[in-house]
Amino acid sequence: MATRSGGAAKKRAEPDDELAAEIKQRAQKYRRAKEGAGGKVRSKKEAAAVGHARRRREEAAEAAARSEVLLTEQAGFLEAEGMERTYKFTQKQIADNVDIGSASRIFDLQLGEFGPYAIDYSGDGRHLLLGGRKGHLATVDWRNARLGCELHVRETVRSVCWLHNQTLFAAAQKKYAYIYDQSGAEVHCLRKHEEPTALGFLRHHFLLASTGMSGRVVYQDVTEGKVVGEHRSGHGPAHVLRVNPYNAVVHVGHGNGTVSLWAPQQSLPLAKLLCHKGPVQAVAVDGVHMATSGLDGRVKVWDVRALGVLHEYRTGRPAQSLDISQRGLLAAGYGPHVTVWKDALATRAGDAYMQRLLPATSVQTLRFAPYEDVLGYGHSGGVSSILVPGAGEPNFDALVANPFQTTRQRQEAEVKLLLDKLPADTIQLDPTFVGRLDPRSHAERQREQLAEGRARYAQDKADGKYRDGAVRNKTKGRNSTAKRYARKRQTNVTDLKKLQTMERMEKELRQAEAAKRPRPAHEKGALAQFYTEKARLDG
Amino acid sequence: MKVKALSRSTADYTRETKSDIQRLPRNADPAQHPLERAREYKRALNAAKLERMFAKPFLASLSGHVDGIYSMAKNPWDLDLITTGSGDGELRVWSLSAQEAVWRAPGAHRGIVKGVCNVPGGDTDRFLSVGVDKMAKVWSRSEGALSADGETPETVASYSGKHAFSGVDHHRSRPLFATSSSLVEVWDVNRSEPIASLTWGADTTNTVRMNQTEVNVLASCGTDRSVILYDLRTSSPLAKLVMALSTNAIAWNPMEAFMFATANEDHNVYTFDMRRMDHASNVLRDHVSAVMDVDYSPTGHELVSGSYDRTLRLWDVNRGHSRDIYHTKRMQRVFCVRYTQDDKYVLSGSDDSNLRLWRARASERLGAKSNRERATVEYAEKLKDRYKYLPEVRRVLRQRNVPAAVKRASRTKQDMLQSRKRKAENERKSSKAAAAAPRVPERKKGILGVTTK
């Protein structure tokens, strides 16, 4: 009887099972990185708590997957039929086939006098900031074609960026960086940013990052004005800086073809990648991928977590600017051309998705507008905006970025953002490190450190760094006997210190192990401490 | 060509009239919430800091008694009224909402009022008091006539015992009450003599408490360091537990009828399962002087204890250390504490003749909360719970300003306990007999023995 009724029940339950399986599968996106198991949980009570927490996490992921039905908007798309090719569609053709609201997103601003223009969209995509090389600064509510403020600073403007909302923006000018408010009044002159060329804002840390002709990477807290980090890259003038939104790491492109990754509290880069054979022209980052372009005419896509190259594309000329849209479209601007690739990051794309040519201009900066199917770019003749269907995230989270934000909501969001302002030292390559346990024991950590040190030492030795008396020759004028001697001494001193440290660590480790080893009977009991003392002195 | 570009209608995302609420669409996609872990941690830290900022537990001090308050009773049928008995024999009934005494009987007893309790059932406002004058009296605000001097109300009934009473408790449903003196006596309210006398050993008892759930069981504790359980049905003792030091007070868990907590002279609060009393089910250690009284919250999850070290402590029954400590500069030795029936307040009566009203959760706001406010509070609680083990959050959450004397005493106590432990370890190492002796778990240390009948 059980089987009969069971069969009937099964038949009826099938759609439910399918739905449950689908939810489980969709929930994958919402499952956070696996939390470290951290070994066996000893206490029954704690094991129950851990199990409970795990179930709650799974439930939360499934609830999030189920809540997807509440997302009302569908992403845009552009599909070719028959012999058509998407990259052959012109903006006029697209404008004829979309609604009038979308068609009005296509425009060209003729601003030939003060170009080329650097641009930036505010976080909710509603406001556009223009910075003409020759000193023209303007903010626009671009969807409604409403000018916010406009001013001429009468000196070179190299880069512009919005701060946390549309009430403040920064401009990298000839000598310093400046902050202006929404009315165009100068609020601050940031003298710590000398000859800045590129700006980036870390929204959750309230840090303004810049790099410039000195090759330094400077971080300044815009809430209290403190410079929280100033690092020398050692690669000379840099012109490229982008912020990775996933972990707030700053990517700086250098003239020698490397891209270095910086955090404000570490004086050395977190990572350095040799990306191109010529100077790096542009960098674009989303959470997982980084696209770089160099004067060698390549556009390369990198996996930022594994720090390896995935694939490369070629552009007719070296790409001057790159950007990655919220839904993973890659755009490159070179000369008068703008090319957009679809599915070009995780996989290698074939043909371009869209292309546009604006004769007699050269692209300076291009940016996808957040939450819109729009790509804006500043060029020598002004600023243009084109439709790229499928670029923007259709469903915004109103508490993250709200394109329809009211003034009160903006004020409230500002307060919330300030309350949640993250300290500068929370920036790491892996942003999930916060609140994690290091499951290794102290001894294990030390052992690993030691092994690492030894390996490095061996590598250096093999490279001839410590070759006695074999200090390599330098260029003429820098090779005096005294300097050679100093160099030799320097390496030896470094060597000695390193060896001493390693020796000390080794000794400590030996002692820790000796303390753990089972003691013979005569060393136990009340007199044991004398043996411990002896062991310490011996060790 | 098939094309569609994102085009949001403003009408879909903005409110129509000013009376509407704003639309706030959400998207749980993790890609839209970068650095969520770090931000959550920051929020947890902020929540911890706000909790300590808003922690203002002290609400009111109700003065009126001229001597210390040594007994207190709450009424399960009335949230507002609290009865207290003082050292000079005065009884008062306080209204917590009005924060004043609504009824008083000066000279209700000659000498200290050792115990008060309410008569259960919502239909009566009678309560009982016992004193060292060997009298047990029944009072009522509505029934009692005023005496000739217009001050001291008349009793509804009175019973005279043979010894000075030390505590009283009423049966949950039947017209019975139990008193403690040198023996535990059970009284029928309609008879002038006790209907049963319960003893096991000769010493005087400190207090008696009837189980309000498993109504036939009552417990008493005595100066002979014993805690004795009795059964009303057979009028005989069930079990006797002897501890290293004597117990000052007992509280039955209102939700788990077989659990009870004892306030011990050895600075600890013990909780016991009455079915297995060979070990305590938990030892709550933080006080630095004898614990004088203990009471369960109506949920049975929390405890409040008052101590001779002039502080109150609040405990989670499953944890070993207190979650909060309450004190004021003026509060003297605490002799009675109660959790109110709505789980929101704590009351303490102390030597300095004041009844003090505290919040049960120091940072909780009073009054009705809007949905948003409640959601925020719940979110903050969850965050604190999630990150409570991280050093920064833990430091903020655990920080308390403790009176210098308590701090000093706890340091000294810790030193003493550690040196004792060290000594025991050394003995263990050096002597074979000691090494062979089994280690005694902390939960068994305070217990000398259990006898059952």
What confidence tens digit (pLDDT) does each residue in B354-403 have? Answer: 999 999 999 998 889 999 999 999 999 999 999 998 999 999 999 999 99
**Which residue of chain A comes nearest to B43, CA vs CA?**
A420
Q: Does A529 touch chain B (CB under 8 A)?
A: no
Whether the Cβ atoms of residue B327 and residue B26 lie closer than 8 Å to each other: no
Set of chain B residues whose Cβ sits within 8 Å of the Cβ of A32:
30
**What is the SS3 assignment for A228?**
strand
Window 209-238 of A: residues touching B by CB (8 A cutoff) are none
CA torsion, ordered B315, B320, B321, B327, to nearest 10 deg: 40
How deeply is B202 buried, as exposed, middle or buried, from its count of CB atoms within 10 A (0-12, 13-18, 19+)? Answer: exposed
Closest Cβ opposite residue B27 in set A71, A204, A245 = A71
Cross-chain residue pair A397–B12, CB shorter than 8 Å? no
Q: Does B22 touch chain A (CB under 8 A)?
A: yes
Set of chain A residues whose Cβ sits within 8 Å of the Cβ of B8:
73, 403-404
Query: Above 70 in pLDDT, residue B49?
Result: yes
Summarised one tens digit per residue, pLDDT across range B75-101 is 988 999 999 999 999 999 999 999 999
Distance (Å, rounded) from C-alpha B406 to C-alpha B184? Answer: 36
3-state secondary structure B242-302: EECCCEEEEEECCCCCCEEEEEECCCEEEEEECCECCCCCEEEECCCCCEEEEEECCCCCE
Q: What is the pLDDT of residue B371?
A: 94
Percent of chain B with pLDDT strictly greater than 90: 85
Cross-chain residue pair A397–B390, CB shorter than 8 Å? no
Other beta carbons within 10 angstroms of residue B383's beta carbon come to: 20
Nearest to residue A212, comparing CAs of A232, A242, A238, A231? A238
The domains found in chain B, sorted by start residue, are: 58-359 (2.130.10.10)
The interface predicted TM-score of the complex, written ipTM, equals: 0.81
Closest Cβ opposite residue A404 in set B7, B10, B429 = B10
Cross-chain residue pair B3–A79, CB shorter than 8 Å? yes
**What is the SS3 assignment for B405?**
helix
Q: What is the pLDDT of residue A461?
A: 74
**Which residue of chain B comes nearest to A101, CA vs CA?**
B7
The domains found in chain A, sorted by start residue, are: 86-414 (2.130.10.10), 442-538 (no CATH)
Cross-chain residue pair B34–A93, CB shorter than 8 Å? no
Window 363-382 of A: residues touching B by CB (8 A cutoff) are 371-373
Q: What is the pLDDT of residue A468?
A: 53
Summarised one tens digit per residue, pLDDT across range B112-148 is 999 999 999 878 889 999 999 999 999 998 887 666 6
Whether the Cβ atoms of residue B165 and residue B134 lie closer than 8 Å to each other: yes
Closest Cβ opposite residue B43 in set A404, A420, A431 = A420
Tens of pLDDT along chain A (539 residues)?
A: 344 444 444 455 567 888 889 999 999 999 886 655 556 778 888 889 888 988 999 999 999 999 999 998 999 999 999 999 999 999 999 999 999 999 999 999 999 899 899 999 999 999 999 999 999 999 999 999 999 999 999 999 999 999 999 999 999 999 999 999 999 999 999 999 999 999 999 999 999 999 999 999 999 999 999 999 999 999 999 999 999 999 999 999 999 999 999 999 988 999 999 999 999 999 999 989 999 999 999 999 999 989 999 999 998 899 999 999 999 999 999 999 999 999 999 999 989 999 999 998 999 999 999 999 999 999 999 999 999 999 999 999 999 999 999 999 999 999 999 999 999 999 999 898 888 877 777 778 888 888 888 888 787 777 766 655 555 666 777 777 777 766 665 554 455 667 777 788 888 888 877 777 777 766 666 676 676 666 666 65
Which of A404, A405, A437, A532 should we substitute to test contact with B (largest number of B Cβ atoms within 10 Å)?
A: A404
Q: Does B37 touch chain A (CB under 8 A)?
A: yes
Peptide bond into A116 cis (omega under 30): yes
Closest Cβ opposite residue A434 in set B8, B28, B38 = B38
Cross-chain residue pair A400–B30, CB shorter than 8 Å? no
Summarised one tens digit per residue, pLDDT across range A440-478 is 777 788 888 888 888 887 877 777 666 555 556 667 777
Cross-chain residue pair B5–A399, CB shorter than 8 Å? no
Q: What is the value of pTM for the model shown?
A: 0.84
- Give the mean pLDDT of chain B: 93
Query: Above 60 in pLDDT, residue B415?
Result: yes
Q: What is the pLDDT of residue A534?
A: 62
Q: Does A23 touch chain B (CB under 8 A)?
A: no
Nearest to residue B69, comparing CAs of B99, B39, B92, B101? B92
Query: Above 50 in pLDDT, residue B310?
Result: yes
Residue B111 binned pLDDT confidence (cut-offs 50, 70, 90): very high
Q: What is the pLDDT of residue A476?
A: 72
**Which residue of chain B comes nearest to A245, CA vs CA?**
B34
Cross-chain residue pair A526–B429, CB shorter than 8 Å? yes
Q: What is the pLDDT of residue A1?
A: 37
